Amino acid sequence: MKAAVLTEFNKIEIIDKVRPSISDDEVLVKVKYNGICGTDLHVMQGHHPAAVPPLVMGHEFSGTVEKKGKHVGDEIKIRDRVVVQPYESCGECEPCKSGCENVCRELKIFGVHRDGAYQEYVNVKASRLFRLDDSISDIAAALIEPLAVAVHDVKKSGLKIGGSVIVIGGGPIGLLIAVVAGINGASKIAISEINPARIKKARQLGFQVINPAEENLADKAYKMTDGRGFDAVFEVSGSRPGTEAMTMLAKTSGTIVIVGIPPEKHPVDTDTVFKKELNIVGVRLYSKVDFQAAVDIMKNEENRRKLMELVSAEYPLEQLTEAIAYLRNSSDAYKVLIKIGE
């Protein structure tokens, strides 16, 4: 099969390699599309401590079942169209036993700890498959994994119907969080963003935008919330200014969700955390329930139309390096998809 291999940091080579074998509880998935994730950029540059070349990156993928192991049940059939929850957990550690397999102590993420989906075939545990109905195209299906991230983040915020939300950072995950917050009944949704292209996209999707480079972020935020502050603040930028602003933007007893991965540690205003009695929540990946919710969200035509507006470009597998460069260097790039199979 054809595979795009990170042979050394910042160098991808297209090679021929043997298809993966499958165990009795696995299936072989023929990959159709894979979305480029920010994690791929970190891995490629050598900024992820767990990822070591040679490695096949990629974990946001859709495909079809090509082969299945002898212990895989009849509910999964050859040629089923599927998406994959792209990590493996041990099932034995305390987090796993308490229902938090997304923070398993032995977590193995596709494209980071093991080969991922920038190749024609991937071996996957059958328990990680989610079948697709005909309403969801292969392209739309490749958005389900990052959508599951947003589902998990919004759930962890404890957002209630009619609540208010501000997202610091209007990139792909930030906008997905805003979309999911709207689906979950948020009455006010704002995006804090300084990039003109991202501001334009956020407004196209119907969100209010505050540009801290041009207006006072706190003044505008409190005006939008009648002086209270926001029920839920999602810090998605991973930036120092975002970290400094998040406690200021939250209402008393509000919740801050730390989504963005900062390049370095940033100080947090613990005095404001104390005075407002704020809740600060960390998030990582998603649960199986979150992933199924993302699949269900994508079944809705209006949701799907809005989410597909985030697709910026499509490249063949042979141009993965060029696709990553486009995503890294273009201010108006959101989700860039790699087409791998027919």
Q: Is 266 a known active-site residue? A: no
Q: Measure the N-to-C terminal CA separation of the chain; round to a whole number of Å.
A: 14
Q: How far apart are CA 215 and CA 10, in angstroms?
A: 38
Mean pLDDT value across residues 259-272: 94
User: Is the whole-model pTM more than 0.85?
Assistant: yes
* Annotated active-site residue in 7, 39, 59, 252: 39
Burial code of 112-123, b = ≥16 C-beta within 10 A, e = fewer?
Answer: bbbbbbbbbbbb
Structure confidence at residue 276 (pLDDT): 98
Please report where in the chains the tokens 């099932």 appear, as a residue: 91
Residue 332 confidence (pLDDT) above 90:
no
- Per the DSSP assignment, residues forming a β-bridge with 191 are 167, 209
- pLDDT at position 34 is 98
How far apart, in Å, are the Cα atoms of 67 and each of 25, 59, 61, 73, 83?
11, 20, 17, 12, 15
User: 26-35 and 11-16 as β-strands: parallel, antiparallel, unpaired?
Assistant: unpaired
User: So what's the pLDDT on residue 263?
Assistant: 84
Mean pLDDT within 238-267: 96
CA distance to 19, 27, 30, 140, 255, per residue, from 1 (Å):
6, 16, 10, 24, 47
Q: What is the pLDDT of residues 11-39, one digit of tens each?
A: 999 999 999 999 999 999 999 999 999 99
Choosing from 7, 42, 152, 266, the catalytic residue is 42
Average pLDDT taken over every residue of the chain: 97
Q: Using CA of residue 72, residue 76, residue 80, residue 82, what is the dihedral sign? A: negative
CA torsion 279-280-285-288 (nearest 10°) is: -10
Tell me how far apart the alpha carbons of residues 313 and 324 are, in angstroms, rounded to a whole number.
11
Model confidence over 101-155: pLDDT tens digits? 999 999 999 999 999 999 999 999 999 999 999 999 999 999 999 999 999 999 9
pLDDT in tens, 184-232: 999 999 999 999 999 999 999 999 999 999 999 999 999 999 999 999 9
- Return the beta strands (E) in 106-183 as ranges: 108-109, 121-125, 129-131, 164-168
For residue 288, count CB atoms less than 10 angstroms from its CB and return exposed for 0-12, middle for 13-18, buried for 19 or more. Answer: middle
Average pLDDT over residues 272-295: 98
Residue 247 known to be catalytic: no
